[in-house]
Amino acid sequence: MADVNRTHMQITPEQSGLTIVLVGKFNPPIFRPEWFRTRELVAPADADQAKIGIIHSEIASFALPWAAVHVERERFVITTTEDPFVRIHDLLMKLFIDNLRHTPVMQLGINRTAHFRLADKATIDKIGFALAPPAAWGDWSKDIISGGDKHGGMRSLTMEQSVVADRRAGYIRATVQPSAVIAPGIWIEVNDHYELEDKSTIPDGSAQILEILEDRFDESVSRSEWLMDQVLRLR
């Protein structure tokens, strides 16, 4: 993969973010802003400004000034839309390695998203038709590309790389859609997914997955932005 470490994209996204997803066994009620403050995971001011959605035995959800946390019994999700994205990586390392080392974690997702403004609808069509040629639909193609306010074409496309050199289990998926928040624009998500190879047993802690997060984070973000750039080259 050429230039995978290059992070400069052809177009600067107008909105973008990063989400880290952990799949394992969690205890939602402990995940609350004041607990994060007492463990020195976040600054006191950030904990004071946190907005709590719900804290319950089955789910916990709150927003810090720079990140949102959502926890269910088998899923932990942290999202940020503010640079530097590495802050949520650092928070997770301190949270699970220093405080919750024995929490079973089996899967990891490093998911990069971005909305890009394009010149016009014709540019969106150019990208969409390159990724999903209407001609592949035979006689229906002339109806797909008909003009007017109700403009047809690609609405969502996901591609998967099932064999990835840096892992035995997992995949990389990239999804492209017209942006729902920027017009004219497109939205791209890259889901970089890792799993422990032995799925027959539940791990006795988070160390294996967090080691992957520590080792692969920078490369994962760079590769995701490189993949986005491959789509932007079609414009």
Confidence at residue 31, expressed as pLDDT on a 0 to 100 scale: 98
CA–CA separation, 46 and 33 (whole Å): 8
One-letter amino acid for residue 235 of the chain: R
Confidence at residue 207, expressed as pLDDT on a 0 to 100 scale: 95
Q: What strand order describes the sheet that includes 75-80?
A: 51-55, 59-63, 68-72, 75-80, 15-24, 105-117, 185-195, 170-178, 157-161
Phi/psi for 30 (5° steps) reads -75, -20
* Predicted TM-score of the model (pTM): 0.93
Torsion 42-47-50-55 (CA) sign: positive
- The full set of domain ranges for the chain reads 15-24+74-232, 27-73
Per-residue pLDDT of the chain (235 residues), as tens digits, is: 334 444 568 899 999 999 999 999 999 999 999 999 999 999 999 999 999 999 999 999 999 999 999 999 999 999 999 999 999 999 999 999 999 999 999 999 999 999 999 999 999 999 999 999 999 999 999 888 766 677 789 999 999 999 999 999 999 999 999 999 999 999 999 999 999 988 778 898 999 999 999 999 999 999 999 999 999 999 9
Confidence at residue 148, expressed as pLDDT on a 0 to 100 scale: 65
- The partner residues of 216 in beta bridges, in order of sequence, read none
